[in-house]
A and B are shown apart, each in its own frame.
Chain A
Amino acid sequence: AQKITQTQPGMFVQEKEAVTLDCTYDTSDQSYGLFWYKQPSSGEMIFLIYQGSYDEQNATEGRYSLNFQKARKSANLVISASQLGDSAMYFCAMREGEKAGGFKTIFGAGTRLFVKA
């Protein structure tokens, strides 16, 4: 069965420093997609970055990068040069069959990131 594990309930980072949020996953499927979403206190989920299981390069989107280690089943999010506005909940998510419809996306429990000035 699919499972997403985020072991860090809360993380602190100094403004302008980099931070890594951990995510491990479990699936028996060969084809899947991994996602990170940000949820500010307003509640809306914001898509950050995507990694396909067959992608050989780690995904990057601006200050966000995804450290994908397939053999270890990990998909850690790295935020470089943290900003105060990065303070939020961050969720790792997975969907099997990453380019097909009709499959559910499951989420981890989340990590709350606090950026200190």
Chain B
Amino acid sequence: ETGVTQSPTHLIKTRGQQVTLRCSSQSGHNTVSWYQQALGQGPQFIFQYYREEENGRGNFPPRFSGLQFPNYSSELNVNALELDDSALYLCASNHVQARSGANVLTFGAGSRLTVL
């Protein structure tokens, strides 16, 4: 149990539709990041939220948007879905590892999106 839960685990959409993916992290974890992982590739950074404000964004178009809520949950919204959006979407929250003091990402199990 990592403390980061994502829903849904799997979903299928058609091209042009919109999707909302959800993430819930542990209380006190103020930073949440979203990643896209295409099959056989490493995770690609989409964006990061800190205290409900976006404070970092990767090379993704504006149709990828997000929200973070005061209760440590967050959403990733993707509009006008394209076939290439098919991927595993990972949510991660930051926590400080006691031993090293490092800010470490804790990931959820991901939401696998298939766009037909």
Contact = CB atoms under 8 A, between A and B. Distances in A.
A107 to B, nearest CB: 4
A4 B45 CA distance: 13
A102 B105 contact: no
Nearest to A91: B42
B109 A101 contact: no
Taking chain B's interface residues, is the majority helix, strand, or loop, or is none over half, making it mixed?
strand
Interface stretch (A11-19, A75-83, A92-100): A92-100
A44 B109 contact: yes
Interface string B31-52: 1010100000111110010100
A44 B110 contact: yes
Nearest to B107: A45
Contacts, number: 74
Interface string B78-100: 00000000001010101001001
A98 B110 contact: no
B104 interface: yes
B25 to A, nearest CB: 14
Given A91-B42, A101-B103, A43 B31 contact: no
A109 interface: yes
Given A98-B102, A104-B58, 5 more contacts: A4-B42, A37-B105, A45-B43, A45-B105, A102-B31
Interface of A: 4, 6, 33, 35, 37, 42-47, 50, 52, 59, 91, 93, 95, 98-110
